[in-house]
Amino acid sequence: MDTKQSKKMKTTLLTIGLALTIISCNNSKTEQKAADNTAETAAKAENTATNDQEGGKAITPVLDAYLAVKNALVNDNQEEAAKAGGTLATALEGLDISQFDADKQTELQEIVEVAKNHGEHIAESEIGHQREHFEALSQDIKDMTAIVGTDRALYYQYCPMYNDNKGGMWLSASEEIKNPLFGAKMMKCGKVQEVISL
């Protein structure tokens, strides 16, 4: 009986030892998977941050030209708006979107095509038509910054009286309201709706 109990005890201890070894190995694998997942997530976040920084820099010529159009319209200057509209169309044509994934590239390409069309219309139109295209262009530029980021703080501004009280928006590098949709006619119509940060 002593031998049977001894064998049973050894078998039980071996089974417990084996179970503990399996559990221990399993925990190591889980910890390794967790470490791998953490490293992968960190790499993706770093890659996204790099894309955002590169995208923010890539959009600089586009934002410069867009803001030049805005400032010309604020000053009721059709000629300067036309010149800046041409510059904007060229800047959009040269925008490098290659660092973004395929889905974002497709979305950006669509935005760029529409925005470029607005820039070309601004370059060739009288000031009333320039303002109509500028208002539509503003939403495209805002959508673009949501994907690629921005190289500066931008202020999303809105005037409820534009377009027969349907409202209109634009982006500005300044918090101060200078309305490009009305120019001198209603320079201060508008308010800041959102700040788009770096």
Give residue-wise pLDDT tens across range 103-162: 999 999 999 999 999 999 999 999 999 999 999 999 999 999 999 999 999 999 999 999
Q: What pLDDT is attached to residue 17?
A: 62
φ, ψ dihedrals at 157, nearest 5°: -115, 150
Q: Does the pTM exceed 0.85?
A: no
Cα–chain center distance at 111: 12
Average pLDDT, the chain: 85
pLDDT at 61 over 70: yes
Closest CA to 109 of 123, 121, 133, 93: 93
Rounded distance between C-alpha atoms, residue 136 and residue 171, angstroms = 11
pLDDT at 47 over 70: no
In order, the DSSP letters of 109-134 are HHHHHHHHHHHHHHHHS-HHHHHHHH
